[in-house]
Copies of this chain bind each other. A is one copy, B any other.
Amino acid sequence: MYAKFNKLSRERREVIINAALMEFAAKGYKDASTNRIIEGADISKGSLFHYFKNKKQLFIYLLDFSIEKIVSEIKIRVDFAEKDLFKRIRQMVDIELELSQIYPTIFQFVEAAYFEQSVEVMHELEERKESALFTKKLFDDIDTSLFKKGIDATQAIKVIWWSLDGLGREISKAHEHNRQIDYEQATQETEQLLQFLTETFYQEGSSLA
């Protein structure tokens, strides 16, 4: 299916993947421009359409690629036997930060794809939506007894999620204009936030390894 593309060097593949992920994430399927993708990847028009027969196939490749990358990483590194919410979140955050260093817009791409409306790709999106629900599982079967008494765990989880999301947005917005994200700082700020949220919602003594 993608024999031609897979024959390329890892570097070339990554450059193309990242240029395409960024374009689709920013503009959505319909408004994404193959011209801007080849410009960003610094390859010729002919090459792109030699690797992928058309725009739609490129999009679906990216979709399957992204989901596979994320899901396989989760399977390796997230321990669902761990019932401590924050420990699980840290496992997930680590994945996000590491994957983002290689594919800076992979999560934005998957989120954008999840809400994509273009009829041209609606069908194949629907087929894959189930496997993209890894986010929800993170909060399944959590030990709510670690929360402070009287805390509404459902609300707390929402607040935690929105905060992580907000910090993530802030980081990528701030460094959209600049060249690259400072992952050192991102890690640090995230850790600070998680620390704060733990103190806020967990009983004293819980999960302070």
Contact = CB atoms under 8 A, between A and B. Distances in A.
A206 B199 CA distance: 20
Contact of A163 (B152, B162, B201): B162
Nearest to A151: B200
B158 A166 contact: yes
Contacts of A192: 155
A141 interface: no
A61 interface: no
A88 B31 CA distance: 40
Interface in A114-163: 115, 151-152, 155-156, 158-159, 161-163
Given A155-B193, A162-B166, A162-B167, A173 B31 contact: no
A148 to B, nearest CB: 9
Given A31-B31, A162-B166, 20 more contacts: A27-B31, A115-B176, A151-B200, A152-B196, A155-B192, A155-B193, A155-B196, A156-B196, A156-B200, A158-B163, A158-B166, A158-B167, A159-B163, A159-B193, A159-B197, A162-B163, A165-B166, A166-B166, A200-B200, A200-B201
Interface string A189-207: 0001100110011000000
